[in-house]
Amino acid sequence: MFDFNIITFQRAINFGAALQSYALQEFIKKQNYNAGIYDYIKPVTIGINATLKGKVKKILTKFTRDKKAKSREVQKYAEFREKYFNLNLDTKSRIFVTGSDQVWNLNSSMDSMFFLQFLDDSVYKISYAASMVTTDVPNDRKDLVKKYLKTFDAISVREEGIKESLSPFCDKDISVNVDPTLLHDKAFYRNIANPVKGIPEKYILAYILHIPKNGNKLIKWLRKETGLPVVLLDSSGAVGMVVKNDMIVRDAGPQEFVYLFDNAECVVTTSFHGTCFSLIFEKEFYSIVNPDSPSRISNILKKVGVQPISETDTQFTRRNSIDWDHVRDVLALERERSRQYIQNAFEIAKNKKAVKPSGTVALMNDTCTGCAACEDVCPTNAISMVLNSKGFYEPSIDETKCVNCSRCIQSCPLNTKQVVWPKKAYYGWNSSSEVLFKSSSGGAFYSIAQTVLQKGGVVFGATYSEDWKDIVFECTDDVALEKLQKSKYTVSAASGLYKRIRKYLNDGRQVLFTGTPCQCAGIKSVFGDEYGNLITCDFICGGMPSLSFYREHIEALQKKYGSPITSLDFRSKEWGWGRMRLFARFENGKKYIKRDFADVYFKCFNAKVSVRKVCAGCPYYHFHRSDFTIADYWGYRAAGIKKHKSGMSLVVCNNEKAEKIFGGIKDFEKFEIPIEYTHYAVRDKIPRADILKGNDRFFKLAAEKGFEAAALKMYDINELHYYIKKLRKMLHL
């Protein structure tokens, strides 16, 4: 167990990210504490929603990047991590530290991992020099930021502006500390520096991340003043097409970066960490900033009494008279402040004890997912799952039976945090065209289920009730496997499910349970690892719509067509895979067929206004606790994979048990893919304020007018109008 475990951007191919990770780890170790780096790999969405800027950059990079140099660069980063980082996946460390760098971005890349939301309350949580892209807290993130910061035991940020921005959202004093790279002197970094071959003995180092207006003018002037050649540090190759230089270094790793700064005569940079290392090695340096934008560079230079270069400057003077004694004194004080911050955190953390939640699950009904784990663990049968006024299952407690033992709230999977990292990922499809046609995606569930049934096991899954108005759990001892296939777009009743599963497990039969991520979390919370014959399989879930809305829609359709429903399919492949329609057949032979944008129920589901509110920020979307996670493989385009028109499944094996089972499946055409090609499906799910507001508005309207009327009030659900709007958009009208 580590005294301190750091979560940061340690895997980024970025000089500053790698070196600040190493610097913080080593600074903590200097204080005689055991320190490591939690090896979290931040999901990167590949090829989804690419911006025009991103596409242009990709095209430029294609023509300018040296692939061999890039390969060498990546290898150097890998070697640096292996040699210098204490990488681990230990969640039991005494103290977790988030930072430094821009770990608290509040835009679309916001990640709850860097707010330490994957840890339980027994872990002491702090930040160190955490930063953000901008100092502003967006309105739709304010409540979330307040919630996250409340869970921290101590908070440190890198810039004063961020302290001012975050202070209204927390009840703790916020410390401002320097970037970890500044916690060490030049001697420390010289111990890890690697020489760069072929560079001049004396040179100007240019490290430019964005092209400043006066960049070339400054470099041209400095080259004339010094008579020195310009060495450009540029792995992309694109900067070198614009910035004047005599030589480009494209394959540097963190250790070469350090060497280049140490041995330069002068430095021109637009980089924050370029500025930091210029200060560390006491160089004549020129850090260029945009005067109209708040700058991390300006903040650190103000602290040490040095002026940056403005992009608007046209006249320059040599900067060879910096008061380095003053800079050293300032950095020495900052290092001492940081040492005290780390030391205080450890002393307080020593006395922190885990406090188990007490009370009953009634305290959690606002965040309840309806998994029914609490009902099963209650020793007095005081809990029953009931349908609330919004159409969702939640626990109801009989106070005459409750003995206040707190077993229910302690067993709730929301209070038993677990971190499960995917081991392997595959895409593919079932070998049988008939099975594939009857499956929502690629038939992965059917293939996994068949391996269990062939061994005499039993499969549990959701199916429609006889009147089509409920979703219930059944097993293959009672219904055909086909009944458990296909997506059902509403909540399912899990009451009594655990007892049925336990009976089969105790009889020694293999059991496959398939359900939503929250239902699988409930199963894992109750059964844990006690039964080796239990297999769990969840899926990528878009949220569970209200059962009341579902029933109202079914009743409206039956009334409209004057006949009971005989079959219902939200994912029919009559028109191919991906063309979603609600397809209902009636006893009188009539059919209802509507695209997802033209059916009121489907439309509200896609807009997420009809789903359980907690689904907007699903706590299980990022961490699936099941053995398998399956989904439609919509990531095939990003992966450059040809579409299989009859359907494709994504299969993520979350542990070795799943790998072994899936490896033995013969009726599924499977192809392994890198884990990063699954991130579109399992990335962190941050609740959006607009969706939450829309959800509140819709449920209020539905309570007043009914589901169908509320849907028509909020949305234009007209097929003709949809196609007219689409045509106008295509024609840019």
* Per-residue pLDDT at 509: 97
Residues 122 and 253 in one domain: no
Residues 6+ apart with CB under 8 A from 698: 604, 609, 610, 710, 711, 714
Whether 384 contacts 375, CB under 8 Å: yes
Range of the domain at 447: 424-544+611-682
* Per-residue pLDDT at 59: 63
Residue 130 DSSP label:
B
Question: How large is the average pLDDT for residues 435-450?
Answer: 96
Residue 583 lies in a domain: no
Task: Using alpha carbons, list the distances in angstroms from residue 722 to 601, 717, 727.
Answer: 16, 8, 9
pTM of the model: 0.87
pLDDT tops 60 at residue 50: no
Residues 651 and 510 in one domain: yes
pLDDT tops 90 at residue 294: no
* Per-residue pLDDT at 594: 94
Largest CA distance in the chain: 92
Residue 313 lies in a domain: yes
* Per-residue pLDDT at 64: 66
Query: Residue 265 maps to which CATH number?
Result: 3.40.50
Quickly state the pLDDT bin for 351 (edges 50, 70, 90). Answer: confident
| DSSP state letters, 626-662 | SSEEEEE-GGGTTTT----TT--EEEEE-SHHHHHHH
Spatial separation of the C-alpha atoms in residues 732 and 467, rounded to whole Å: 47
- How does strand 581-586 pair with strand 565-569? antiparallel
Residues 15 and 122 in one domain: yes
Residues 490 and 625 in one domain: yes
In the chain, the amino acid numbered 493 is A
The candidate with the shortest Cα–Cα distance to 5, out of 33, 43, 30, 44, is 33
Quickly state the pLDDT bin for 733 (edges 50, 70, 90). Answer: low
* Per-residue pLDDT at 48: 44
Q: Which residue has the tokens 């099963």?
A: 376
Residues 168 and 99 in one domain: yes
Spatial separation of the C-alpha atoms in residues 381 and 383, rounded to whole Å: 6
Residue 654 lies in a domain: yes
Per-residue pLDDT tens for 640-678? 899 999 999 999 999 999 999 999 999 999 999 988 888
Residues 125 and 258 in one domain: no
Mean pLDDT (the chain, rounded): 91
Residues 316 and 196 in one domain: yes
Residue 295 lies in a domain: yes
pLDDT tops 70 at residue 57: no
pLDDT tops 50 at residue 470: yes
Spatial separation of the C-alpha atoms in residues 654 and 658, rounded to whole Å: 7
Q: Which is more confidently placed, 349 or 555? A: 555
Quickly state the pLDDT bin for 63 (edges 50, 70, 90). Answer: low
Per-residue pLDDT tens for 587-629? 999 999 999 999 999 999 999 999 999 998 888 888 888 999 9
Question: How large is the average pLDDT for residues 682-708?
Answer: 89
Domain count, the chain: 5
- The lowest-confidence range among 194-208, 433-447, 575-589, 670-684 is 670-684
Residues 340 and 384 in one domain: no
Residue 587 lies in a domain: no
Type and span of the H or E element at 560: helix 547-561
Query: Residue 491 maps to which CATH number?
Result: 3.40.640
Q: Which is more confidently placed, 305 or 58? A: 305
Query: Residue 406 maps to which CATH number?
Result: 3.30.70.20
Residues 6+ apart with CB under 8 A from 434: none
Q: How far is CA 437 from the centre of its chain?
A: 32
Q: Which residue has the tokens 């980024």?
A: 12
Whether 347 contacts 152, CB under 8 Å: no
Residues 81 and 120 in one domain: yes
Give 86-90's long-range contacts (Cβ < 8 A, gap of 24+). 86/2, 86/25, 86/35, 86/36, 86/37, 87/10, 87/36, 87/37, 87/39, 88/2, 88/5, 88/36, 88/37, 88/38, 88/39, 89/38, 89/39, 89/419, 89/421, 90/1, 90/2, 90/5, 90/36, 90/38
- The lowest-confidence range among 133-137, 663-667, 677-681, 699-703 is 677-681
Whether 100 contacts 114, CB under 8 Å: no
Domain ends where: 396, 415, 434? 415
Question: How large is the average pLDDT for residues 351-375?
Answer: 85
* Per-residue pLDDT at 52: 53
pLDDT tops 90 at residue 375: yes
Residue 168 DSSP label:
G
Quickly state the pLDDT bin for 241 (edges 50, 70, 90). Answer: confident
Residues 255 and 152 in one domain: no
Q: Give me the phi and psi of 94, to 5 degrees please.
A: -65, -45
| Helix residue ranges, H only, 106-226 | 142-150, 160-166, 186-190, 215-226
Residues 49 and 144 in one domain: yes
Question: How large is the average pLDDT for residues 181-193?
Answer: 97
Angle at 236 between CA 83 and CA 206, to 5 degrees: 85
Q: Give me the phi and psi of 562, to 5 degrees please.
A: 60, 35
Residue 533 lies in a domain: yes
Residue 564 lies in a domain: no
pLDDT tops 70 at residue 242: yes
Question: How large is the average pLDDT for residues 265-291?
Answer: 95
In the chain, the amino acid numbered 728 is R
Question: How large is the average pLDDT for residues 283-299?
Answer: 87
Per-residue pLDDT tens for 195-237? 999 999 999 999 999 889 899 999 999 999 999 999 999 988 8
Side by side, the strands of the sheet bearing 565-569 are 565-569, 581-586, 591-595
* Per-residue pLDDT at 355: 75
Residues 675 and 696 in one domain: no
* Per-residue pLDDT at 6: 97
Residue 240 lies in a domain: yes
